[in-house]
Amino acid sequence: MALRPLSQVSCVVCIVLLPVLVQAQQPTGTITGVVRDPSGAIVPGASITIVHEATQSTTRATTSNAGVYSAPGLLPGLYKVCVEATGFKQTVVELEAEVGRVKTADVSLQVGDVTQTVTVVAYGVHVNPTQTSLEGIVTEELIHNLPLNGRNFLDLGQLEPGVQVVPDDIITRSGFARLSVAGQTGVTTRVTVDGLDVSDEHAGSVALNLSADSIKEFQISRSTFDVSTGLTGSGAVNIVTKSGSNELHGSAFLLWRDDAFAARIGQEPTAFDREQAGFDVGGPFIRNRLFWFLNYERNNQDAAVVTNIPLFPQFSRTWPSPSDERMATA
């Protein structure tokens, strides 16, 4: 019996982002820190301006009486943190906000004219003193540069210790997968996309697939989750999709795999043909104000399942196993 083709279209439309309280993983990061003077004393009332480099969106804050500032709800990406206080030089810290993480940007001001600027680059990897969760980030750079047989982005979850990919048990859902964390079955692993839970409650994988080109980055949490993580007894995957920026950017790809180019090691050749094509493009509607992003991917695979039953040779044959999948994000 031939397996049914799989066809799917998923679409996410983001119009306005409003602060809401939800019981799910947050698709944002946080930047926090303490501002001090050259002697190490705290500086209350300092002005903090946090600018997202891609969209120039601005978040403002002021240090408390303890010299502390915090900016939650930041989309993943590169930021400039500008700190100003009377009698001190302006200090600019460049760092990257990541999904589900709290980044610390402590600032030591230097005495001088406020028109003078001191720039500090804080891209380096360091110990995170603000979080105790065991987690890791699969970045856009890894998604773009590492080869994926089948282009299922969840395969990259295996880069994290203790994480394995488990094929979906339902044969009519070919092309889906679930992540097993710390030896668990993967059924209870929670998966969210931009804060929305897309876990399949029956198969334990995801209820939809996403094109790898539509993903900005994703976080895999393995233990001691923070309070924003959805209820789970094993692990959680927090996915953030791409968005537009002030610069027009895009890419396209075409991948083809065929059994005509496969190595022959004694066995009979099995029919296999896969074509994968797609594109992504994004840019501004209004610079610094409104942005757009589009992604589309088509996967067409014609494979076969070979059954060999010596006792009942009449049932030994090759069965076609087609799969056709379309994914779109806007």
Give the percent of the chain with pLDDT over 90.
40
Closest CA to 257 of 150, 145, 167, 147: 150
How would residue 329 be classed by pLDDT, with cut points 50, 70 and 90?
very high
Paired strand residues for 83: 48, 91
Is the pLDDT reported for residue 165 higher than 90? no
What's the number of CA atoms in the CB half-sphere (13 Å) around residue 134? Answer: 11
Per DSSP, the residues of 161-226 read TTEEEEE-S-GGGTT-EEEEETT--STT-EEEETTEE-B-TTTSSBSS---GGGEEEEEEEEES--
Q: Looking at residue 79, what is its pLDDT?
A: 95
Contact 220, 190 (CB under 8 A): no
The verdict on domain 134-241 having CATH code 2.170.130.10 is: yes
Express each pLDDT in 131-159 by its tens digit.
Answer: 666 778 899 999 989 888 888 888 898 88
Helical segments of the chain, H only: 140-145
Q: How far apart are CA 258 and CA 273, in angstroms?
A: 4
Express each pLDDT in 19-41 by its tens digit.
Answer: 333 344 678 889 999 999 999 99
Helix-, strand-, coil-residue percentages of the chain, each rounded to 5: 10, 45, 50
What is the pTM assigned to this prediction?
A: 0.77
How would residue 226 be classed by pLDDT, with cut points 50, 70 and 90?
low
Q: Looking at residue 267, what is its pLDDT?
A: 67
Average pLDDT for the chain = 82
Fold topology of 29-121:
Immunoglobulin-like (2.60.40)
Q: Which residues of the chain does CATH 2.60.40.1120 include?
A: 29-121
Give the percent of the chain with pLDDT over 70.
82
Written as one letter, the residue type at 110 is Q
Express each pLDDT in 235-277 by its tens digit.
Answer: 888 899 999 999 999 999 999 999 888 877 766 677 889 999 9
Contact 77, 37 (CB under 8 A): no
Q: Which two tokens stand for residue 238?
A: 């927090």
Q: Which residues of the chain does CATH 2.170.130.10 include?
A: 134-241
Closest CA to 179 of 98, 132, 234, 259: 234
Express each pLDDT in 71-98 by its tens digit.
Answer: 998 999 999 999 999 999 999 999 999 9
Straight-line distance from the first to the last Cα atom of the chain, in angstroms, rounded to the nearest whole number: 37
> Which residue has better confidence, 63 or 1?
63
Is the pLDDT reported for residue 68 higher than 70? yes
